[in-house]
Amino acid sequence: MPDGFAFDGRQRMKRSVRAAALGLCLAVPVGFYALADAVDALPGVITIDRAAGHPPVNPPAAAETMTPPAPKALAPVDPSSGAPAGQSSADPDADPSADASGDAVQPTVSGDQITAAMMRAAEIPVVNNHLAFSVVDARTGETIAEHDGDTARVPASTMKLLTSVAAARHIDLDSRLTTSTHLKGGDLFLRGGGDMMLTTESAASKPVVKEDLSRASITDLARATADDLKKQGVTSVALHLDDTAFADDPVNPAWGSNGPSGGWVAPITAIAVDGGRLDGEPYGPKSTNPSEDALTAFRAELEKNGITVTGEPNRAAVPKDAAEIAQVQSAPVRDLIHHTLIHSDNTTAEVLGRLVAAEQGKPATVAGARDAVQEDITLLARDEGLHADGLRIADNSGLSADNRIPPRLLAELNAWSTGEAPDPVREVFTLVPISGLEGTLADRFEASSVTDARGIVRGKTGYLAGTSSLTGVTTLADGRVVGFSIVVYGFDGADADAARAAVDTTAALMIREQS
């Protein structure tokens, strides 16, 4: 049997309880958060102010270019226990290696059987034996099934999971990004704090929510600023933009043709409206200068509210003795990560990388963000005994074909997340889509041969020309919770749908009862 990373007895016990709870929750997605919470399976230059928290705003999510299916009927949940109706919740005093009857749980499916089953997908024409996978037991940390899992491969958007983990390890998930205005004499400064998801819609009476993310309003900021200026008797100002929270380094050369010109990501700046989208569509045309566009929108609203802007606005840092006039705050970083993982938003993933760099004292540049996440995940792997040989990070979103991650590392991270990972990191792994229900997994596992995996697999998807991937957590036929990672590679870009379907088939073969 392949080796794994070791847990001591106490760690194994805690992981067993959490893994058992997670297994029940994966079987009944609607009960996931209630039951997981019941057993504790869940828990800078960043201009962040700790504002009063509010519940995350999460309306039904839509996939990147997909329409969610109609809601499925799910088993009811007992509100007193958080477990499926008629089923008791996990007893923390019980033997964590025992099932509900008190008998020790024994694997009924061998790793060789799982490997052999998954390898059947290698015969699918689009795969043509270009298949890599790793499956890791969440309780023991043992690699129980794998094929070429130690070879670092192009991860595509599963890279966003590493960026999100690094963000959770360095940034308070309740913190928010602040966009503010400051006045010194007749000079007004608009300062960006990293929020690229501002909206021009007013949120004064009702929060503006798009793609399950609450947005701060640059319109409300302009109105509040104008009101305060008029109270001070100021009706005319020179306007300046301070976007120095991120360095003037907006485009990663490693993106190649997958960058802003193709509509896949916006130039990364410290302030932007609607992620730099020009038509509101995720993969439509992008602004070539999102921060200047935000300044233009702010100026227009300022003038609508009775403040004259003299001359042409320019870039200038806020003086230390300038007085703050007004501010608006983003949704919590937790919600930004959720949005990034559910919708696979490349722009917000790159923003998270810049924030991690800033929190580590590195420059908020392309190289700073790349190196910050690389160093953090390498350190994490060393400390937890994970396998990161060959890890190479070229960007924070997965758009670069230069990224390399071993499938085994992703599987181990998912397995680790169910137990010993710190609370903020464990939470990150609950923010990925559930198959057949939301986000980029909403319309996956639709073929009749794989529908039994819908609602059972949850994870982060990835696609880049020639690579289709999926990494996450699921439950095997014998009840064991596992972290997994699957990569199909080396196919023609025209076969994208077939490659995604092959990944789904591989995942379904992993969880199906083996004979």
Q: Rounded to the nearest 5°, which phi and psi values hold at 484?
A: -145, 160
Pick the more confident residue, 48 or 235: 235
Q: Is the pLDDT of residue 23 over 60?
A: no
Same domain, 232 and 283: yes
With a CB cutoff of 8 Å and minimum separation 6, the contacts of 309 are 236, 237, 238, 239, 299, 302, 303
Which of 308, 330, 352 is a domain's end point? 330
Which residues 6+ apart lie within 8 Å of 281 measured at CB? none
- Split at pLDDT 50, 70, 90, the class of 420 is confident
- Same domain (yes/no): 145, 202: no
The answer to whether residue 371 sits within a structural domain is no
Per DSSP, the three-state class of 405 is strand
Q: Please provide residue 189's backbone torsions phi and psi, each rounded to the nearest 5 degrees.
A: -115, 130
Please report, for the domain that includes residue 126, its CATH number. 3.40.710
386 CA to centre of own chain:
21
Spatial separation of the C-alpha atoms in residues 330 and 44, rounded to whole Å = 16
Distance CA 295, CA 154 (A): 37
Q: What is the pLDDT of residues 307-354, one digit of tens each?
A: 999 999 999 999 999 999 999 999 999 999 999 999 999 999 999 999
**Domain end point (choices 330, 356, 390):** 330
User: DSSP characters for 274-317?
Assistant: GGGBSSS-TTS-B-S-HHHHHHHHHHHHHHHTT-EEPS--EE-P
What's the rounded mean pLDDT across residues 209-230? Answer: 97
Q: What's the number of CA atoms in the CB half-sphere (13 Å) around residue 332?
A: 19
> What is the domain-level CATH number for residue 187?
3.50.80.20
What is the average per-residue pLDDT within 380-392? 98
Residue 442 forms part of a structural domain: yes
- Same-domain pairing of 321 and 209: yes
Same domain, 185 and 304: yes
Does the residue 52 lie in any domain? yes
Q: Which of 107-116, 213-222, 285-294 has the lowest mean pLDDT?
A: 107-116
Pairing state of beta strands 467-475 and 458-464?
A: antiparallel
The answer to whether residues 486 and 407 belong to one domain is yes
- Domain-located, residue 338: no
Q: Strand pairing of 236-242 and 187-191? A: parallel
Per the domain annotation, does 358 fall within a domain? no
Q: Within a 10 A sphere around the Cβ of 243, how many other Cβ atoms? A: 24
According to the model, what pLDDT value does residue 42 have?
36
Residue 105: predicted pLDDT = 53
* pLDDT top residue among 47 and 463: 463
- Please, what is the Cα angle at 19 between 21 and 463, to 5 degrees? 105
> Is residue 6 within 8 Å of 385, Cβ to Cβ?
yes
243 within domain boundaries:
yes
CA distances (Å), origin 509, targets 74, 120, 240, 395? 23, 8, 58, 32
SS3 340: helix
Interacting residues of 421 by C-beta distance below 8 A, sequence separation 6+: 429
Query: How does residue 107 score in pLDDT terms, banded at 50, 70 and 90?
Result: confident
Categorize the per-residue pLDDT at 205 as very low, low, confident or very high, splitting at 50, 70 and 90: confident
Q: In angstroms, rounded to a whole number, what is the distance separating the alpha carbons of residues 156 and 469?
A: 7
Q: Are 198 and 235 in a shared domain?
A: yes
The predicted pLDDT at position 45 comes to 34
Block residue for tokens 């490693």: 254
302 inside domain: yes
Q: Are residues 411 and 299 in the same domain?
A: no
Task: Return the pLDDT at 24.
Answer: 46
Do 38 and 135 lie in one domain? The reply is: yes
Final residue before a domain boundary, out of 313, 330, 347: 330
Q: Would you say residue 26 lies in a domain?
A: yes
Its pTM stands at 0.83
Q: How large is the average pLDDT for residues 462-474?
A: 97
Q: 19 vs 280, which has greater pLDDT?
A: 280
Indicate the residue type of 390.
G
Identify residue 426 by its one-letter amino acid code: R
Residue 82 has pLDDT above 50, yes or no: no
Q: What rounded mean pLDDT belongs to the chain? A: 85
Q: Are residues 141 and 244 in the same domain?
A: no
Q: With CA atoms as reference, report the closest residue to 188 among 231, 244, 226, 243.
A: 226
Specify the number of domains making up the chain. 2
Please report the DSSP string for 218-264 in residue order.
HHHHHHHHHHHHHHTT--EEEEEEE-TTS-S----GGGGGGSGGGTS
Mean pLDDT of 130-136: 99
Q: What is the DSSP letter of 376?
A: H
User: Are 124 and 185 in the same domain?
Assistant: no
pLDDT at 56 > cutoff 60: no
Which DSSP string do the residues of 159-215 spell out, in sequence order?
A: HHHHHHHHHHHHS-TT---EEEEEEETTEEEEE--SEEEEBSS--SSS-EEETTEEE
Q: Which domain holds residue 190?
A: 178-330
- Where residue 436 falls (left for φ over 0; alpha for ψ -120 to 50; beta otherwise) is left
* Amino acid at residue number 416: W
Shared domain for 419 and 322, answered yes or no, is no
What per-residue confidence (pLDDT) applies to 515? 53
Kindly tell me if the per-residue pLDDT of 104 is higher than 90. Answer: no
Q: Where are the alpha helices (DSSP H) in 328-365?
A: 333-343, 346-359
- 275: Cβ contacts below 8 Å, ≥ 6 apart: 196, 197, 266, 290, 345, 347, 348
Pairing of strands 236-242, 308-309: parallel
* Distance between first and last Cα of the chain: 19
